[in-house]
Structure 1
Amino acid sequence: MDVYTGTPISRLEIVESGGRRRFSDEAKLRIVEESYSGRRLGSATARKYGITRSQLNEWRDAARAGRFGPASRAGFVPAVIVPEVAAATGPLMANGSGRIEIVTANGRRVLVDRDVDVEALIRVVQALERLT
C-alpha cells in the first residue's frame, strides 16, 4: 500500500459540475433588461451570465410576451403606425419633413422631426419615463 508523504494540500479547488442552473423570473428579466441597455451586445450579456445567446433570445421573447409576470412588459411599448392628418400645417410639415409621435409608458407624448438629435431624444424620453 502506498502512502502519500508529500507536502500537505493547502488549497482545495471546487470545479463547477456543469449541472443545470436555475434562474428566477426576476433574474431572467434583469438579464434581459441589461442585454437591451446601452450599446452592450446580447452575446456579451449572455457570456457574462454563462448562458447561450439562444437562451437569452428565448428569455427576450418570453419577456415581450409577458411570461415573466406583469412587470416584464413594463419596458416594452408597442409601436403603432397611424396615417398623418392631411389638415396638419405646422412648421414641421411646411418643409415636407416627417415627424413622429412618441408615447412613453406613463402616457407622456413627444413630437419630433425626423432630423432630431437621437442622443438628445433618448435623454428626454428617459427623463419623461422617470416622471410619475
Structure 2
Amino acid sequence: MDTSLGERRRNRLWPEGLKREIVAASLEPGSSASLVARRYDVNANQVFAWRKRYAAEVAEPTELRLMPVAVTPDPPAEPAPARADDLIEIEFGGYRLRIGSGVKAATLRLVLDVLERR
C-alpha cells in the first residue's frame, strides 16, 4: 500500500512586488480578497496574511489630495410665525400692544419706553 501523496506540493515563492500588487488589488473599493485570490491563483488566506504584513505600508497615503470645499453662510434664522397662543396683549395708557414670541427684549423695552413718555 502506497501512503505517499504522490507529487509533493511546493510552496510558491511570490515576488515582493507581486505580493504588494495583490494586496493593493484586494483593498480597492468594491473588491474582495477572495475574488482577487482567484484572479491571481492564490489562496485567500494567503492574501489576508499579506494584508496584515503590508498593512502599515498600505495605510500610509502615497500622495496628498485636495478635496473641493464650498463655504456657505448659514441661512438667517427666521422666527416662527406667532400663533394666537404665543401672543401677549398689553393695554398701556390707552394703547393696546400685542407682542409675539419672536420680539427681542430690547425692542420691547424701547416701545414701552416710548409709550410711557406719551
TM-score (norm 1): 0.39
TM-score (norm 2): 0.43
- The higher radius of gyration belongs to 2
